[in-house]
C-alpha cells in the first residue's frame, strides 16, 4: 500500500495484528495502533512513504504471520477494488485460521475540495462511481453478515464502527497472545505437587508423552513417506482426575495460568490459545466413548494440571506430546482401551479438525511408541515402525533460533496442496508412489514450484532410507552428509527455511566434531538439529551460541537430548 503520508511502520514482520484497508490520508489505523501498543500487542501498518518490492515482501510476510487481521474500508475510499479486496482478505484469513475483523463504512463521502473546471466535466462519472461504491458497500456488508450468521464457528467479526473494531481487535489479540513460558524443573514432581495443592487430594493418574527430534525425513509424513524420529528424554506430564460436575479446571505450570470452563465451551476460541489442544482432545472423547459403548452425554468435568520440559514452539513437537498425553489421561479416566497407535491417530485428528493443521502422523506416533536409545524408521503409509539403534559416541544437540512460527499461520497447508497437485499430475495416489523417472517425464507438465516440492519429497525419502543403513553401519560421516543435503533441499526446493535456520545450520557445520546439521520441524522458525561427537559437545555449544547471537542479536538456546521411551500413564489411586 502506498501513501504520501508518513507512517510509523514496524520493521519486524511478526506482528500479532495486521492493519489492512483504506490507505491514502486516512488516519483510522492510528487509534488502533495506540490501543494495541498500550496492551503490549504488536501491530503491522503496511502504509509506507515509498512503496517498493521490499515493502511488498514485508507486507506479504507480515500478513502471513499475523494472528488477527483487520480490514477497514472507511468513508473516503471510493475504490471498488478495495471493496473487492475485503473478500480476498476474508478467504486468505480463513485459510490461515486467522481471526478477521471487518468494518465497512456504509457511506462513501466524496472529497469536499472545490472542483476545478476540468473536473466538473467529469461530475457525472463521479456520481456513477459514488453510486457504485454505495451499492458495493451494501453488498459487502450483507454478504459478510450472512457469512457470520451461517458459519458461527469461523472467527469473523463484523464491526459496527471503528471503535468497535478496535475493541474487538485488542480483545482477540490478547486472547491469542502466548503468555510468558517458564521452564518447569522436574515437571513430573511439579505437576503432582501443584495438583495436590490446588485440589487437596491426589490425582487418579499421571499421564505423560515425550517430545521428539527428527533425524531426517522432513515433510514426507503427509506424503505417505519415511521418517526417522526419536522420542526424547523431555516430556509433558498431566495429573488428572474426574469431577462430579461439568467443569474443566485446567492449570498449566508452563504458562503459569489456570482456566475453568464448562464442557459446553470446548469449542470456544475466546479461551486462551494454549488450551486448544486439551479442549480438542476432550471434545473427541465423546466420540471415543460412543465407539466403546458408553453414553457420550455422561461425560464429566475434569481436573487437569499440566507441566513439561519439552521446549515449546522450537520444533520438538510439544503439541503432539500434549495431544498424546491427553489421550493417555482420557483412556485412564474414561476406561477406554486404546492401542498406542490409536492414541497417536486421535492426536492427529485433533490437529486436523480442531487446530486446523493437516499434519502427518510422525509426531504423534513417535510420542506414543518411542524406544529408548533408538530412532524409529516409520513408514507413514502402513504405520510400521522399525527400531534403529543410535551409535555410541554421538550426541543429538539442538539449537533453538528463538524464532517462533505457528504452522497454521505459515505456508504448511500450501506445501501439502502442492504435493497433492504433483501426485495428481503424475497419476499416483501420493508422492510415495512416484519415482525420479516419473517426475522427470512429467516435469514439463507441472508448474516449476510444484516440481520442486515433489523433488524434495522424493529425494528426502531416499535420504531417509540411506541414513538408516548408514546408522546400522555406524557411518556417522555419511549420516551427517545426508543431514546437510536435507537442509539444502528444505531451504532451496521446499522453501521452508528462514535466514536464522540457514545461519544456525552453517555455524554448526563449521565446528570440529559436528557430523552434520539441518533445520528440524515444519520450518519458518524453530531449531536446528546436529549430530555431534560426545567430546566436542561443550565447545560446539559455546561457539555456535556465541556466533549466532553476535550475528543476529538473538539468544541461542541449546539442548542436548537422548532417545527415550514413548507415552504412558501411572495410576496413583486418587478417587475417580
Q: Which of the pair, 182 or 385, is modelled with greater confidence? A: 385
The mean pLDDT value for 269-288 works out to: 87
Can you tell me the distance from the alpha carbon of 84 to that of 74, in angstroms, rounded to the nearest whole number?
A: 14
- Asked if residue 111 belongs to a known ligand binding site, the reply is no
List of residues 6+ apart from 246 with CB closer than 8 A: 262, 263, 264, 299, 300, 301
d(CA 506, CA 214): 18
353 is in an annotated binding site: no
Class of domain 187-388+565-571: alpha beta
164 vs 434: CA distance, rounded Å: 53
Could you report the per-residue pLDDT of 60-101, keeping only the tens digit for each?
Answer: 777 777 878 888 888 776 555 655 666 666 666 666 667 888
Least confident of 211-215, 297-301, 345-349, 433-437: 297-301
Q: Which of the four pLDDT bands, split at 50, 70 and 90, describes residue 182?
A: low
Q: In the prediction, which pLDDT does 151 show?
A: 62
Average pLDDT rounded to a whole number, residues 411-419: 88
Is there a binding annotation on residue 220? yes
pLDDT category at 438 given cuts 50, 70, 90 is very high
The set of cell numbers assigned to 515 is 557430523
Task: Indicate which residue of 45, 224, 363, 400 is catalytic.
Answer: 363
Region 170-194 average pLDDT:
76
Bridge partners (DSSP) listed for residue 363: none
User: How is the chain split into domains, by residue range?
Assistant: 17-176, 187-388+565-571, 394-559
Third-level CATH fold of 17-176? Rossmann fold (3.40.50)
Position 170 confidence tier, pLDDT thresholds 50, 70, 90: confident
> Distance (Å, rounded) from C-alpha 531 to C-alpha 216?
11
Mean pLDDT, residues 231-245 taken together:
95
Q: How many CB atoms lie within 10 A of CB 377?
A: 21
Which stretches within 408-475 are classed as H helix? Answer: 412-426, 436-442, 448-472
* Residue 382 in marked binding region: no
Note the pLDDT of residue 128: 60
Is there a shared CATH topology between the 17-176 domain and the 187-388+565-571 domain? no
Beta carbons of 439 and 451 less than 8 angstroms apart: yes
Which H helix or E strand runs over 229?
A: strand 226-242
Q: Please tell me the predicted confidence (pLDDT) of residue 466.
A: 98
CA 476 from centroid of its chain's CA atoms? 32
> Annotation-wise, does 427 bind a ligand?
no
Residue 104 has pLDDT above 50, yes or no: yes
Q: What is the per-residue pLDDT for 521?
A: 85
Can you tell me whether residue 255 is helix, strand or coil?
Answer: coil
Instruction: Tell me how far apart the alpha carbons of residues 570 and 206 are, in angstroms, rounded to a whole number.
Output: 5
523 CB neighbour count, 10 Å cutoff: 24
Lowest mean pLDDT among 111-115, 366-370, 558-562: 111-115
Rounded to the nearest 10°, the torsion over CA 56, 61, 65, 70 is 10
The answer to whether 300 and 243 are in contact (CB under 8 A) is yes
237-265 mean pLDDT: 94
Task: Look at residue 501 in the predicted model and tell me its pLDDT.
Answer: 95
User: Fold for domain 394-559?
Assistant: Alpha-Beta Plaits (3.30.70)
Q: Which of 10, 14, 12, 16 is nearest to 404 (CA)?
A: 14
Return d(Cα 542, Cα 230) in angstroms, integer. Answer: 25
Specify whether 363 is catalytic: yes
The strand order across the sheet containing 527-533 reads 514-520, 527-533, 394-400, 557-561
Coil, strand, or helix at residue 104? Answer: strand
Q: Average pLDDT of 398-421?
A: 79
pLDDT of residue 19: 87
Residue 242: which pLDDT band, with cuts at 50, 70 and 90? very high
* Distance in angstroms (rounded) separating the CA atoms of residues 518 and 490: 9
Q: How would residue 59 be classed by pLDDT, with cut points 50, 70 and 90?
A: confident
| Stated pTM of the model | 0.69
Contact 255, 307 (CB under 8 A): no
The candidate with the shortest Cα–Cα distance to 172, out of 336, 316, 320, 43, is: 43
Q: Is residue 412 marked as binding?
A: yes
Amino acid 152: pLDDT: 59
Indicate the pLDDT class of residue 289, thresholds 50, 70 and 90: low
The answer on whether 351 is annotated among ligand-binding residues is yes
17-21 and 514-520 strand pairing: unpaired
Residue 181 is given by DSSP the state P
Give me the mean pLDDT over the 127-136 stretch.
66
Burial of 62 (0-12, 13-18, 19+ CB in 10 A): buried
Using CA atoms, how far apart are residues 212 and 207, in angstroms rounded to an integer? 17
pLDDT at 57: 77
Give CA–CA dist 493/413, Å, rounded: 16
218 is in an annotated binding site: yes
pLDDT tens-place string over residues 487-542: 999 999 999 999 999 999 999 999 999 999 999 988 888 899 999 999 999 999 99
pLDDT tens digit sequence for 444-496: 999 999 999 999 999 999 999 999 999 999 999 999 999 999 999 999 999 99
Distance CA 32, CA 41 (A): 10
Q: Does 360 appear as a known binding residue? A: no
Average pLDDT over the chain reads 85
Residues 185-190 have a mean pLDDT of 90
Grid cell listed for 230: 526419536
Question: Is residue 319 part of an annotated ligand binding site?
Answer: yes
Distance between CA atoms of residues 355 and 347, nearest Å: 11
Q: Does 317 carry a binding-site annotation? A: yes
Residues counted in the chain: 576
pLDDT value at residue 99:
82
pLDDT at 412: 77
Residue 8 clears pLDDT 50, i.e. is over it: no
Amino acid at each position: 500500500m502506498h501513501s504520501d503520508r508518513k507512517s510509523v511502520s514496524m520493521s519486524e514482520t511478526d506482528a500479532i495484528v495486521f492493519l489492512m484497508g483504506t490507505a491514502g490520508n486516512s488516519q483510522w489505523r492510528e487509534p488502533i495502533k495506540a490501543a494495541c501498543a498500550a496492551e503490549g500487542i504488536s501491530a503491522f501498518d503496511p502504509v509506507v512513504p515509498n512503496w517498493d518490492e521490499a515493502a511488498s515482501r514485508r507486507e506479504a510476510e507480515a500478513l502471513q504471520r499475523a494472528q488477527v487481521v483487520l480490514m477497514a474500508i472507511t468513508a473516503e475510499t471510493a475504490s471498488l477494488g478495495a471493496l473487492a479486496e475485503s473478500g480476498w482478505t476474508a478467504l486468505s484469513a480463513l485459510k490461515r485460521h486467522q481471526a478477521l475483523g471487518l468494518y465497512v463504512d456504509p457511506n462513501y463521502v466524496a472529497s469536499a475540495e472545490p472542483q476545478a473546471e476540468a473536473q466538473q466535466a467529469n461530475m457525472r462519472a463521479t456520481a456513477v462511481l459514488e453510486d457504485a461504491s454505495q451499492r458495493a458497500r451494501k453488498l459487502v456488508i450483507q454478504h459478510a453478515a450472512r457469512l457470520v450468521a451461517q458459519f458461527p464457528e469461523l472467527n469473523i467479526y463484523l464491526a459496527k464502527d471503528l471503535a468497535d473494531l478496535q475493541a474487538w481487535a485488542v480483545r482477540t489479540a490478547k486472547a491469542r497472545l502466548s503468555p510468558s513460558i517458564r521452564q518447569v524443573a522436574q515437571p513430573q514432581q511439579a505437576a503432582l505437587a501443584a495438583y495436590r495443592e490446588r485440589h487437596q487430594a491426589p490425582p487418579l493418574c499421571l499421564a505423560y508423552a515425550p517430545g521428539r527430534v527428527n533425524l531426517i525425513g522432513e515433510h514426507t509424513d503427509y506424503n505417505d513417506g519415511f521418517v526417522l524420529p526419536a522420542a526424547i528424554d523431555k516430556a509433558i506430564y498431566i495429573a488428572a482426575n474426574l469431577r462430579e460436575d461439568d467443569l474443566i479446571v485446567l492449570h498449566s505450570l508452563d504458562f503459569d495460568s489456570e482456566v475453568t470452563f464448562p464442557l459446553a465451551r470446548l469449542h470456544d476460541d475466546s479461551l486462551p490459545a494454549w488450551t486448544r489442544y486439551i479442549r480438542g482432545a476432550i471434545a473427541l472423547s465423546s466420540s471415543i466413548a460412543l465407539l466403546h459403548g458408553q453414553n457420550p452425554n455422561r461425560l464429566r468435568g475434569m481436573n487437569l494440571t499440566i507441566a513439561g520440559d519439552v521446549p515449546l514452539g522450537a520444533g520438538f513437537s510439544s503439541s503432539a506430546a500434549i495431544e498424546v498425553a491427553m489421550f493417555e489421561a482420557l483412556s485412564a479416566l474414561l476406561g477406554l482401551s486404546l492401542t498406542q497407535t490409536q492414541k497417536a491417530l486421535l492426536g492427529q485428528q485433533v490437529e486436523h479438525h480442531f487446530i486446523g493443521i493437516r499434519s502427518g502422523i510422525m509426531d504423534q506416533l513417535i510420542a506414543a511408541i518411542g524406544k529408548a536409545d533408538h530412532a524409529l524408521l516409520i513408514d507413514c503409509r502402513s504405520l510400521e515402525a522399525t527400531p534403529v539403534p543410535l551409535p555410541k559416541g554421538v550426541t543429538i544437540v539442538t539449537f533453538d533460533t528463538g524464532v517462533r512460527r505457528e504452522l497454521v499461520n505459515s505456508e504448511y497447508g500450501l506445501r501439502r496442496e502442492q504435493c497433492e497437485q504433483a501426485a495428481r499430475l503424475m497419476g499416483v495416489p501420493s508422492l510415495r508412489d512416484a519415482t525420479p523417472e516419473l517426475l522427470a517425464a512429467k516435469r514439463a507438465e507441472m508448474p516449476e514450484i510444484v516440481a520442486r516440492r515433489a523433488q524434495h519429497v522424493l529425494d528426502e525419502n531416499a535420504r531417509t532410507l540411506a541414513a538408516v543403513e548408514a546408522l546400522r553401519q555406524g557411518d556417522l560421516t555419511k549420516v551427517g552428509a545426508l543431514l546437510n543435503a536435507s537442509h539444502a533441499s528444505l531451504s532451496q526446493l521446499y522453501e521452508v527455511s528462514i535466514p536464522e535456520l540457514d545461519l544456525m545450520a552453517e555455524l554448526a557445520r563449521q565446528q570440529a566434531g559436528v557430523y552434520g546439521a539441518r533445520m528440524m520441524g515444519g520450518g519458518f522458525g524453530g531449531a536446528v538439529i546436529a549430530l555431534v561427537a560426545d567430546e566436542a559437545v561443550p565447545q560446539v555449544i559455546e561457539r555456535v551460541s556465541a556466533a549466532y547471537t553476535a550475528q543476529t542479536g538473538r539468544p541461542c538456546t541449546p539442548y542436548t537430548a537422548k532417545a527415550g521411551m514413548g507415552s504412558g500413564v501411572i495410576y496413583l489411586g486418587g478417587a475417580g
